[in-house]
């Protein structure tokens, strides 16, 4: 895990790690200063990532690509705060506003699901952008019930079997329109179709990771 930048028991958000070679520092600090009723001042310096086992990736350490990790306790208000922070982050890194909007949508949808179905109160978000390679990776992690995991696996099976993102989205729109309640996979279909990101599910015991990968215009 990264060296904590700001951490406090009972504070609803814990941010770990920090690095970055440009813009994100500004977004990061803004988020820290406004993410709760306790608007304390944080250290101004940014810590460097350590070589501990759960650092996000070798790319992050070696190339210093813009990235961040968030681990926080579920709260609807916090999801929106995180989305705004993430949108700022994307707008800073990604030159095309349309692409930044697509990424913000997918991040919000993934995070909301992670928060909604977390069984232990924690939800984690990892975002990593490699402007040189033109790739973006978003990952959420949470613990979930067996029934939720089963539901997710069925949704991902539908994604795998679908002929196209548009076809699955159309199917999910129709299904959602008549569904009384519950999760029907609309959010995932929306990510695939509207955000143009590919999705992957990783399950280990009761821990669920949803990965979304997409492309951005590579930096010149």
Partner 1 sequence: MNSAAPPCIVDVSREPSSVCVRLSGDANMNAVKVLGETLADVHARALVDRCPEVVVDVSRLEFINSTCFKEFLRWIAKVEIVDPSSRYRIRFRYDHRVAWQKRSLRALEHFAVGLVTVEGE
Q: How far is CA 46 from CA 19, 21, 36, 111, 121, in A?
A: 7, 11, 20, 25, 28
Residue 1 C-beta: closest distance to partner 1, Å: 25
- Of the pair 40, 174, the CB lying nearest partner 1 is at 174
Least CB distance from residue 189 to partner 1, whole Å? Answer: 9
Q: How far is the CB of 62 from partner 1 (least distance, A)?
A: 31
Q: Which is nearer to partner 1, 159 or 193 (CB)?
A: 193
Q: Which residues bind partner 1 (CB under 8 A)?
A: 30-31, 34-35, 76-77, 79-81, 83-85, 97-98, 101-102, 104-105, 108-109, 112, 116, 169-170, 173-174, 176-179, 186-187, 190, 193-194
* 123 or 193: CB nearest partner 1: 193
Enumerate residues 6+ apart whose C-beta is below 8 A from 199.
156, 159, 188, 191, 192, 210, 211, 212
Strands 207-215 and 4-6 come out as: unpaired
Q: Which is nearer to partner 1, 102 or 139 (CB)?
A: 102
CB of 127 to partner 1, least distance (A): 17
Q: What is the dihedral of CA 74, 175, 173, 157, to 10 degrees?
A: 70
User: Cβ 55 to partner 1, closest distance in Å?
Assistant: 27
Q: Are 187 and 113 in contact (CB under 8 A)?
A: yes
Residues 6+ apart with CB under 8 A from 88: 27, 30, 31
Residue number, 24 or 49, with CB nearest to partner 1: 24
């Amino acid at each position: 895990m990264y060296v904590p930048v700001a951490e406090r028991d009972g504070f609803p958000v814990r941010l770990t790690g920090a690095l970055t070679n440009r813009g994100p520092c500004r977004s990061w600090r803004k988020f820290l200063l406004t993410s709760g009723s306790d608007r304390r001042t944080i250290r101004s310096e940014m810590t460097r990532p350590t070589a501990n086992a759960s650092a996000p990736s070798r790319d992050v350490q070696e190339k210093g690509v813009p990235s961040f990790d968030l681990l926080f306790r579920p709260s609807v208000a916090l999801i929106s705060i995180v989305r705004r922070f993430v949108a700022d982050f994307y707008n800073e890194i990604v030159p095309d506003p349309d692409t930044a909007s697509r990424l913000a949508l997918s991040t919000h949808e993934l995070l909301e699901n992670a928060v909604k179905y977390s069984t232990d109160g924690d939800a984690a978000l990892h975002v990593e952008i490699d402007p040189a390679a033109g790739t973006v990776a978003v990952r959420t992690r949470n613990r979930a019930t067996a029934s939720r995991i089963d539901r997710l696996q069925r949704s991902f099976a539908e994604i795998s079997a679908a002929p196209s993102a548009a076809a699955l989205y159309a199917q999910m729109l129709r299904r959602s329109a008549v569904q009384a309640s519950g999760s029907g996979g609309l959010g995932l279909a929306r990510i695939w179709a509207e955000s143009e990101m590919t999705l992957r599910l990783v399950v280990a015991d009761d821990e669920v990771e949803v990965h979304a990968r997409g492309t951005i215009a590579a930096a010149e």
